Amino acid sequence: MRAADGHGATGAPDDEAGGARRAGSVGAIVAAALRDLRSIDGAVYAAVATTPTPTLDTALRRLSRAADHSKLSLGIAAGLAVFPGRPRQAACAGLGAVAVASASANLLAKRLVRRRRPDREAARVTVARQVPMPASASFPSGHTASAVAFAIGAGTVLPGALLPLWSLASAVAYSRVHTGVHYPGDVTAGAALGVASAVTARRLRRCLPRGERC
């Protein structure tokens, strides 16, 4: 009967139905995994928010503010640029990576994802560690993306600076969770974006004629 009505001969309707079921199953698994990740993200955020750290609060708040608009990276770059050769090249490479990271995070990723900022009041983040809540979307962390991009961009040219800059970028990333303006997932994505931005900026820089590289 299946061959007679044309369905069993080719199996196309059955294949399509099976494919739809598999696609639906995969979609359901992905959706469930994302829900679980959001739950973990929120739980870690809440744990940080409710853990008393009075000794760290002021320092991390100041660090977070210092990283606004990449002021920290700009200051380090200015210091490196004083010295000719590799330090100056490292400053240029780091700032190029920051430019790519900032544009990618603020002009593209945040506008696509539009994740809401955490509710600091509900999480009971102590006032002593708070910084102004940005108006932009939460995902990804632009501060983290730029700090990581600068660390890798400059550190690739000046290897001796990589570890200190990476440590500083990690501290900036954590400070954004500590001050309550980002979820851990935001800074994780920001770090990944920072790495990708540094790699992209390095490749773009190599495309320039040597005489046009700083």
Its pTM stands at 0.84
Going residue by residue through the chain (214 aa), what tens digit of pLDDT does each one get? Answer: 444 454 555 555 556 555 556 656 887 888 888 889 899 999 999 999 999 999 999 999 999 999 999 999 999 999 999 999 999 999 999 999 999 999 999 999 999 999 999 999 999 999 999 999 999 999 999 999 999 999 999 999 999 999 999 999 999 999 999 999 999 999 999 999 999 999 999 999 888 776 666 6
Contact criterion met (CB below 8 Å) for 49 and 120: yes
